[in-house]
Amino acid sequence: MKDWTAKLRRIRALTVKETRQVLRDPSSIAIGIVFPLMMILLFGYGMSLDVSRVSVAVVDEDASADSAALVGAFQLSPNFVVTMARSMDEANTIFMSRKVDGVLRIPSDFSRRWHLGEAEVQILVNGTDANQARIMQGYAQGPVAEWSATQAGPVASAAAGPVIVVNRMWFNENNNSQYFLVPGLIVLVMTIIGAFLTAMVVAREWERGTLEALFVTPMRAGEFLISKLLPYFALGMIGFVLCLLAGQFLFHVPLRGSLFLLCLASMIYLLVALGIGLLVSTLVKSQFLASQLAMTLTFLPAMMLSGFLYDLRSMPAFIRGITYVLPARYAVALMQTLYLAGNVGSVVWLNLGVLTAMAVALLVLTRLVTRKQLS
């Protein structure tokens, strides 16, 4: 019994020390509060995956009534800003000087060939930004289809297509990209707070020699780790609450699953991140190495290989294989499902199970390594 109270007292003392260290360092507050806020604003307002309007130079070499109507369709389209050019030479000059994103060329035989059954328009895009070029290619279909529908008269019904697609996007009917950014953001924020700070914490104690001072005290490895975990766990939860509030009140992302499960999932993922940070820190004992390793092992995968921004299904098999050992993958699937789809048993329990196993394994491993190094 006495043993227990002494243990608790030691943990408390160390936790208080660690908490003071956190509170007194402006950089930990910056990462705990400023960082989540910054990410929320950046992802919510700064980054947009849509190409809003494309500027295009139009060369009408045909100068017929048909081609003029087609140009009109482009001018009316909300996706295009049209600049007229007299010749291809002029259009190329504007294109090369980056004043427009692309060139639309209506060849001189456009009208004649349209009445023969098949006409052609040419689009010139700049492949330096492949994504934008492809989006522009897609946008161009709109005015062209619209024009041919108005031209063809009776054939128009056929132009609308025998098969029409009725699209429904479940979980996100209005195709709002913030719906999938917010769940991913929680994972990203937890990763940074959890892994970065702790990666430096233990390494700093090794570098400064303060850990050796602890060797001579009756403190145990487990107690030491708990005292390191608690303050940063609290900091991580502050970040989580900030993201949760932003999702609710700023972006109005629906939370269709249970709040309890969402909190539980975040806590477990936070423990995983803290575990990685502590393990790296304990193993390399150098702040510089620990920070770089934490960056490479946690932040990068959480951003790139988690299914947050880029879909896992389109990655080559060996990269997809790597993602299975990365905790962020399970966390993103879990958060996106809990937020948008609800408590889907098969998804939730599988991912939660994997994350819990990872958290336990990492913390036990860290404890073993620390104990070995302490003795």
Which residues, 339 to 358, sit near other proteins by CB under 8 A? Answer: 340-342, 344, 346-347
Map residues 26-55 to x or -, x wherever contact with other proteins holds by CB under 8 A. Answer: xxx-xx--xx--xx--x--xxxxxxxx---
User: In Å, what is the CA distance from 347 to each residue of 122, 302, 308, 330?
Assistant: 47, 19, 16, 9
C-alpha 85: how far from chain center: 40
Phi, psi (rounded to 5 degrees) for 337: -70, -45
CA atoms of 353 and 361, how far apart (whole Å): 12
Retrieve residue 169's tokens: 């996007």
Which of residues 144 and 367 has its CB atom nearest to other proteins in the complex? 144
Instruction: Decide: is 324 part of the binding site for other proteins (CB under 8 A).
Output: no
Regarding 78 and contact with other proteins (CB under 8 A), the answer is no
Rule CB under 8 A: choose which of 14, 119, 186, 242 binds other proteins: 119
Going by C-alpha positions, the residue among 242, 269, 245 that lies closest to residue 255 is: 245
For residue 1, give the 3-state DSSP assignment: coil
- Give the nearer residue to other proteins in terms of CB position, either 10 or 71: 71
Restricting to residues 247-276, name those near other proteins by CB under 8 A. none
* Of positions 177, 220, 360, 365, contacts other proteins by CB under 8 A: 177
Closest separation between CB of residue 6 and other proteins, Å?
31
Size of the site for other proteins (CB under 8 A): 112
Task: Report the C-alpha gap between 204 and 212 in whole angstroms.
Answer: 12
Kindly state the smallest distance separating residue 275's Cβ from other proteins, in Å. Answer: 19
Cβ atoms of residues 328 and 243 within 8 Å: no
Q: Which stretch binds other proteins (CB under 8 A): 8-16, 211-219, 283-291, 365-373?
A: 283-291
Binding to other proteins in span 195-214, by CB under 8 A: 196-197, 200-201, 204, 207-208
Q: Is 97 in the site for other proteins (CB under 8 A)?
A: yes
Alpha-carbon dihedral of residues 42, 167, 81, 84, nearest 10 degrees? 150
